[in-house]
Amino acid sequence: MSGQRRREVVGQGLASLGLVLVALALPVSALAQTGPVSLDQARAEHEAGKALLVDIREPDEHAAGVAPGARLLPMRQLSARLAELPRDRPVLLICNTQNRSRASFDALRERGWTHLRFVNGGMSEWNRRGWKTVKPGG
């Protein structure tokens, strides 16, 4: 191996090591601020007050029951009500199955939201598990 090639390989290795060390220095919660989150983890974080659960289903879906304490913000109204979404704390988007929450997640990430995740399984899985729901406003 030539001296130049050896320096390139060592440089690449050091760069990779640097990325690993940066990742290890971050708390786990900082690494997990984006992408999907399990229903169990979302519920735990929401109930502990560590994250805001935002139900983006439509009002007719909300009428069947919502997670206690969830903020109701229908997907169709999302762009007009962006000011209601905090940027300084974790936000968990939930819909019925995660299709709309994933699409909303992608759109909000493009607009600069960083502490954002979407809930795998959604409210259909929440209901299947028999977890408590409440009527909106109640």
- Give the global pTM: 0.76
| Catalytic annotation present for 95 | yes
Q: Stretch 50-76: mean pLDDT, rounded?
A: 97
- Comparing CA positions, the residue from 66, 61, 115 lying closest to residue 88 is 115
Residue 134 lies in a domain: no
Shared domain for 59 and 37, answered yes or no, is yes
Shared domain for 64 and 20, answered yes or no, is no
- Rounded to the nearest angstrom, the gap between the alpha carbon of residue 38 and the centroid of all alpha carbons in its chain is 10
Question: Could you write out the DSSP letters of every residue in 39-68?
Answer: HHHHHHHHHTTSSEEEE-S-HHHHTT-B-T
Shared domain for 116 and 69, answered yes or no, is yes
Residue 47 lies in a domain: yes
Give the per-residue pLDDT at 138.
Answer: 62
Shared domain for 20 and 55, answered yes or no, is no
Kindly tell me the number of DSSP H helices and DSSP E strands found in the chain. Answer: 6, 5
What values do phi and psi take at 27, rounded to 5?
-65, 155
pLDDT digits (tens, 9 = 90+) for 65-124: 999 999 999 999 999 999 999 999 999 999 999 999 999 999 999 999 999 999 999 999
- Which residues span the domain enclosing 11? 1-27
And the tokens for 78? 């999302």
- The residue from 66, 91, 95, 108 that is catalytic is 95
